[in-house]
Amino acid sequence: MSVSNVVVFDEEKRLEALKSLGLLDTPPEERFQRLCRIVCHILDVPVAYVALLDDKRQWFKAQCGIENVTELPRQGTFCDTTIKQPGAVLVLNAAEDPQWADKPYVKGPPCTRFYLGFPLRVKDGQPVGTLCALDAKPRGEVTDAQLEMMLDLARIAETELELRNTLQTQALLLDREKELSRKNDFIRRVLGRYVTDDVADHVLSSPEELHIGGERREVTILMSDLRGFTPMSDKLGPENVVRILNHYLHFMVEIALKWGGTIDEIIGDALLIIFGAPVAMEDHARRAACCAIEMQRAMDGLNRLLQSEDLVPIHCGIGLNTGEVVVGNIGSEKRMKYSVVGSPVNLTARIEAFTIGGQILASKETCDQLGNEARIDGKLRVNMKGYSKPVCIYEIGGLGDLQLPQHQD
């Protein structure tokens, strides 16, 4: 690290950087031992080590030529000085150097004479340790080639020091990715009960859309309800009511998802299904009509199943309407729901209320989008609450290859 890039020595930040490595007091590692052996070979010295320095200790992460010593007091050591320097510290003969001659480890054992140490810098340029060489014999010089090789080894040591932190970060990220994947799988399974897999994937891949608010969107709304089910349920008992509803909803939900509908509400025996949101569909009216027809066609098979279990047959009416609504997440930050709001929703409910069992009634707006492919079995002009003039609604008997039985006069 060049002098121009060295940050001002800050002991508090340095100790934070050291702690973040998680290497203090950990077992020896071959990757650091190998560096020490290379240092001994390059400089022909008996002692080399990688030391990490906390506030009081000089702790040896790796060493060659030092026996039965894992740490020393930091204060006044060669390494204590080295971590405060911008570059290498070179002492050719400590006994003749006024800065070091009186030090106990120079005057007495191990009688150090030669020292070469490089500060090891990691996060934000903070010096956390040293790569050092020692000898009891003084030296006349260290060649430029030797210094260059030692500097390379110091850079390698710095990389190795941060590698553990990097690997831990990668492992943490992998764990979080797995956890997110598990959560996404759970969310997808939950969403899959109400929308198609495509819609679920769209919601999960667009987290920026998961906020309170909405947008204007043209959709087709399907509402269905069982005819006469409320008084019937009073006579059946709760267990049988639940059995009937579970069978009914199983059939209807599967069909809705097949045609790309988003199930907005299930309230008792009533269903509210949206076509065209959250994923836009150019053919939302056609999908809704096909869904409605297939739902009515499925009722015969459903009733055979109910009768086989000694349950009463049921019949549903379906209303369809197309219009511009506000779609989006409605609620609070802690509890929100994807839903539709607008007068077209209210009109759909009123259309559905005019149906009888087995019937599909649709607004003019929906029929206009279906075009000539739709089989219209009848037209009604009805008075509706909130409308000053009668509203025309149409009975749909089929669409393309999907057809309901013709009425018998």
Q: Report how far residue 259's alpha carbon sits from residue 138's, in angstroms, rounded to the nearest whole number.
A: 87
CATH topology of domain 208-403: Alpha-Beta Plaits (3.30.70)
Nearest Cα residue to 396 out of 356, 367, 371:
367
Q: Report how far residue 187's alpha carbon sits from residue 178's, in angstroms, rounded to the nearest whole number.
A: 14
Q: Report how far residue 180's alpha carbon sits from residue 207's, in angstroms, rounded to the nearest whole number.
A: 13
Helix axes 284-308, 238-258, angle to 10 degrees: 150
Residue with tokens 């004479």: 113
Q: Which amino acid is at 144?
A: D
The structural domains of the chain, with segments of one domain joined by +, span 3-169, 208-403
Burial (Cβ within 10 Å: 0-12, 13-18, ≥19) of residue 105: middle
Cβ atoms 284, 275 nearer than 8 A? yes
Kindly give the residue spans of alpha helices, DSSP state H, lying in 237-342.
238-258, 284-308
CATH of 3-169, one of 3.30.360.10, 3.30.450.40, 3.40.640.10, 3.40.50.300: 3.30.450.40
Give me the pLDDT at residue 285, please: 97
Q: How confident is the model at residue 1 (pLDDT cuts 50, 70, 90)?
A: very low
Give me the pLDDT at residue 203, please: 64
The model's pLDDT over 337-394, given as tens digits with 9 standing for 90+, comes to 778 899 999 999 999 999 999 999 999 999 999 999 999 999 999 998 888 899 999 9
Above 60 in pLDDT, residue 4? no
Give me the pLDDT at residue 210, please: 53
Residue 210's DSSP bridge partners are none
Rg, Å, the chain Cα set: 39
Q: How confident is the model at residue 180 (pLDDT cuts 50, 70, 90)?
A: confident
Give me the pLDDT at residue 164, please: 67
pTM of the model: 0.56
Give me the pLDDT at residue 236, please: 85
Cβ atoms 273, 264 nearer than 8 A? yes
Nearest Cα residue to 92 out of 76, 119, 115:
115
Give me the pLDDT at residue 214, please: 75
The model's pLDDT over 190-239, given as tens digits with 9 standing for 90+, comes to 666 655 666 666 666 666 555 556 789 999 999 999 998 888 887 888 89
